[in-house]
Chains A and B, each alone.
Chain A
Amino acid sequence: MFGFSLSEFSRTILGINQRNLGFIRKLNPAKYKRYADDKLLTKRILGKKKIKTPELFKIIRSKQQLEYINWGALPNSFVIKPNKGTHGSGIIVFYGKKKGKLEWIMPNMETMNVEAIKQHVSDIIDGKYSIDGKVDVAFFEERVSNHPTLKPYSYRGIPDIRVIVYNSFPIMAELRLPTRESRGTANLHAGGIGVGIDIGSGVTTTAIHRKGFDLIGDRYDLIEETLDEPKLLLRGIKIPYWEKVLELAVKSQQISKLGLVGVDIVIDKEKGPMILELNARPGLAIQLANQEGLLLRMNQVQRYKKKKTVEKYVAIAKNLFGGEIEEQVENLTGREIIGLVERVSVSPTPAALELLKKSKKKTVAVPKESVKSKIDTGALKSAIDYNLAIALGYKELIGIQDIITKRYHSLEEAHEIREEYDEKVRQRQFETIKDFVVVKSTNGYTVRPVIEAVITLGAVTKTYNLNVSNRSDLLYPIIIGRKDLKEFLIDPTRVFAMRQQ
């Protein structure tokens, strides 16, 4: 009916009811939610832990206080914010000051004089923008300078990065870009652009922009380019300081003691990443920007135990949720990206299995082992551990165990043995051993039988020729050499990079 199954939807997508009842009520106690709702308190708490936030210029708690402000002492650019505002309401960014006048310039190039600013601050104090409608406090803070990487993509405003952190794992991130339509604010609801970010690489993926009026709520179109001139491709932007951004988000979440939090981060061109605010009720449109469900990711991190360091949480998240960019590379090259260690499943070839059945004179189940394999571009050929091969049913190897374990000091001696056994292969004395090869190692030479086995690595299942050697003292029972890696691209920074097929 909907074009997708309801059970898949409820397994993948986080809805607002579940966010509230299942996560916020359980993980975000009212006391800590109040801290996040109070921007000044958030600043103070984060500041104590040496986490950077934009510099605070002035706090205005009453209308009387407005009469004693030295307006001339205010900098040319600054931001006015309500302490308990929501959805960016009541925030005004001033970019510059009119020469010789007490008038400041807004993103839409209109100006505000002292009287207009006083009125706006009065509205904030009256609670016009506050989350609970109660009396509020206004404050003036530093305007962040746009980072040169992100500046071309944002229309007269500062883009921010929203990172959803769940129990210390940064599970999803989104770059929010101001547009002409959003009047320079990075608010998606107001017309800003939301761009999904690949957690693993910090590179942007898919982007969304709000559709026109819709009675059922905000709905979004997928877009490829910025809305304002010059039109720039939104996919592939590398977020500066990505590692730091993720670490900062996790640290802030841990300090806030909120289990599920949206951390808003801005990147200043000189000071680097800074925390803008924490959101105890993060919005769900980030799922559309990333074209991924939050719930699925939350379930994925649930199996991990508490880690000691922020770096470990970040590393796990990068490993788990990175992959968008790899997918694009895979689509372009037709090759799958793998790390230096991957899990493979290995089983005998149909011919070897037939022999096994004959020897047992009854039906046998296909022996299949799932093992870690080393992706070794330094080795030409692939290899398998003797014991693993025996477990898979290659019993002929037992008869030549001493050949496999013996080391020869001269190449000639090793070749003599190899030729002797190759002759036996030619005379069909072996049924599962296809060849013998001489391999040079640090302690001399070894003669190794070659068997065929079926290995599944990622999406590729094929028959490999495997040298048999004793690898019982080594970490990986299988080595995949470069001869068998033509279908793959190798990312040396990762292990177990392969997605489950």
Chain B
Amino acid sequence: MVFLPDAPAILLNIPIIVSLVAITRYLIGFKTWKNYPVIALSLAYYFFYQLLDSTLVALTLWVLFTALIIGTAVATRYFIRRFKINYYARVAVMYLGATFFALVAMTIISQTPYASIVTDHYFGIGIFLIATTIDELATLLFKKDLQEFIRRLTTTTGLSLVAGMLITWGTWNTFLSAHHEVLLLVLIIDAIVAFWSAVRATELLRFGSILKNQ
């Protein structure tokens, strides 16, 4: 079943990524920080992949710039934590710090044989998408403590990478483009997850000791 033969597979992947987020949360028990960072980071991977059609390049650029942008945003926040400045101004400074260091990294790469990559507009979109997650991650950092931040950041980036690899997987995309009924299956999975009131896998580890100790 195909609704529109030339519909881009990337569009069809979005509900699948979000379903993965839901499954990870309600069935497994790993929390990401909302849906948007997962979608943005996986799309960034998609754009890096488009540069040379290479998993290795996409993975390297994605790991490098995700770590750099998020790392420098967090570091900027750490350095300005003593300044008593307004909340949104603080987030703005985090964006500025991250952008500055991304720019430095791009300048360094431009001196290497891969110079053409950093001037490609796909690269720019990839960087832009990673940077847009700062706001959500800054909120996470403000609201949760460092442990919970690391926990959710790990899940968010891990799941983004899985999702990024899925949306750049040729065989999968061909299958998805030819079988739009997969979305019906996604709907069924969503419905199961929506009414899933049984335990999460991680809860077996957290609360199992109660039964073991009895």
A293, B210: Cβ atoms closer than 8 Å: yes
Find chain A residues with CB under 8 A from B213 CB: 222, 291
Q: A133: which B residues are within 8 A, CB to CB?
A: 139, 143
**Cα distance A213–B152 in the bound complex, in angstroms:** 13
Partner of A219, one of B29, B86, B206: B206
Closest CB in chain B relative to A300 CB, distance in Å:
16
Contacts of B195 in A (CB 8 A): 21
1/0 per residue, CB under 8 A from A, across B81-112: the answer is: 00010111000000000000000000000000
Q: How far is the CA of A251 from the CA of B200 in the complex (A)?
A: 33
Residues 96-141 (chain B) with a chain A CB within 8 angstroms: 139
Q: How far does the alpha carbon of A17 sit from the alpha carbon of B26 in the complex, in Å? A: 7
Which one of A15, A21, A22, A293 contacts B200 once the chains associate, using CB atoms below 8 Å?
A: A15
Residue A9 lies at the interface, judged by CB distance under 8 Å to chain B: yes
Interface of chain A residues 1 through 54 with chain B (CB within 8 A): 2-4, 6, 8-10, 12-13, 15-18, 20-22
* A:176-215 near B, CB below 8 Å: 189-190, 213, 215
Closest A residue to B147 by beta carbon equals: A213
The tally of CB-CB contacts under 8 A between chains A and B is: 99
Q: How far is the CB of B153 from chain A (nearest CB, A)?
A: 11
Is B209 part of the contact surface with A, judged by Cβ < 8 Å? yes
In the complex, what residues of A have CB within 8 A of residue B87's CB? 122-123, 126-128
- How far does the alpha carbon of A218 sit from the alpha carbon of B214 in the complex, in Å? 21
Say how far A27's CB is from chain B's closest CB, in angstroms: 14
Question: By the criterion CB–CB under 8 Å, are A21 and B197 in contact?
Answer: yes
Most buried by B among A213, A217, A287: A217
Tell me whether A129 is interfacial, beta carbon within 8 Å: yes
| CB closest residue in chain A, given B146 | A213
Measured between beta carbons, the chain B residues less than 8 angstroms from A126 are 86-88
The distance from the CB of A259 to the nearest CB of chain B, in whole angstroms, is: 16
Minimal beta-carbon separation of A369 from chain B (angstroms): 32
Contact A215 B145, CB 8 Å, known A2-B204, A9-B211, A293-B210 = no
Q: Does A55 count as interface, using CB distance less than 8 angstroms? A: no
Is A346 interfacial (CB 8 A cutoff)? no
Give bound CA distance, A388 to B213, whole Å. 42
- Say yes or no for B78: interface residue by CB 8 A criterion: no
Q: Is the CB of A18 within 8 A of B198?
A: yes
Q: Is B202 located at the chain interface by the 8 A CB criterion? A: yes
Closest to B27 in A: A17
A122 to B83, CA, bound (A): 13
- Contacting pair B142 A128 (CB below 8 A): yes
Residues of A within 8 A of B148 (CB): 189
Q: Which residues of B contact A3 (CB under 8 A)?
A: 208, 211-212
Are A17 and B200 in touch, CB under 8 angstroms?
Answer: yes
Once bound together, how far apart are the Cα atoms of A129 and B213, in whole Å? 37
Residue from A20, A22, A219 having most chain B Cβ neighbours under 10 A? A219
Q: Are B150 and A213 in contact (CB under 8 A)?
A: yes
Taking the complex as formed, is A292 at the interface, i.e. its CB lies under 8 A from any CB of chain B? yes
Residues of A within 8 A of B142 (CB): 128-129
Give 21 pairs: A residue, B residue, CB < 8 Å, sorted on A.
A2-B204, A3-B208, A4-B211, A9-B208, A12-B210, A13-B211, A15-B199, A15-B200, A16-B200, A18-B198, A20-B197, A126-B86, A126-B87, A128-B142, A215-B154, A219-B205, A222-B213, A284-B207, A288-B206, A288-B209, A292-B210
11 further interface pairs, Cβ-Cβ under 8 Å (given A3-B208, A218-B206): A10-B198, A13-B207, A18-B199, A21-B195, A21-B197, A133-B139, A216-B202, A222-B213, A287-B207, A287-B210, A293-B207
